Amino acid sequence: MNFFVNTLSLAKDLLYQNNSTTAPKFTNWITLERKVAGDNPSTNYYSAFISNKHTYKIKGNKGKALYIGIQVYGKEDGFNYPSGNISSREITIEANGDYEIILAKENLFKDTNWLPIQEEDYIVIVREYYDNYQLRLSDLKTMPYIENTSSVNSKETNTKNEGTKSNFSSFVTSLVANSIDLTNSLSKFPNSTDAKIILNPKNAAALFPSKNIFYEGVYLSLQNDEIAKVTVQNQPKCDYFSWTFYSPYYTTPNYLITKTQLTKEDVKIDEKGNYIFYIAKQSLNIPNAIETGNYNSGVLSFRFLKSDKKFAIEKLSYDIQIQKIQEIL
The residue-averaged pLDDT of 87-113 equals: 90
Residue 124 has pLDDT above 70, yes or no: yes
| Structural domain spans, the chain | 2-164, 174-328
pTM: 0.86
Residue 56 has pLDDT above 60, yes or no: yes
Class of domain 2-164 (CATH, top level): mainly beta
Angstrom distance (rounded) from CA 74 to CA 76: 7
Per-residue model confidence as pLDDT tens digits over 59-75:
999 999 999 999 999 88
CATH of domain 174-328: 2.60.120.600
Within this chain, domains 2-164 and 174-328 share the same CATH topology: yes
Cross-strand pairs, 175: none
Which is more confidently placed, 186 or 170?
186
The residue-averaged pLDDT of 253-275 equals: 89
The least confident of 29-43, 48-62, 112-126, 198-212 is: 198-212
Angstrom distance (rounded) from CA 192 to CA 175: 26
Q: What is the 3-state secondary structure (H, E, C) of 139-162?
A: CCCCCCEEEECCCCCHHHHHCCCC
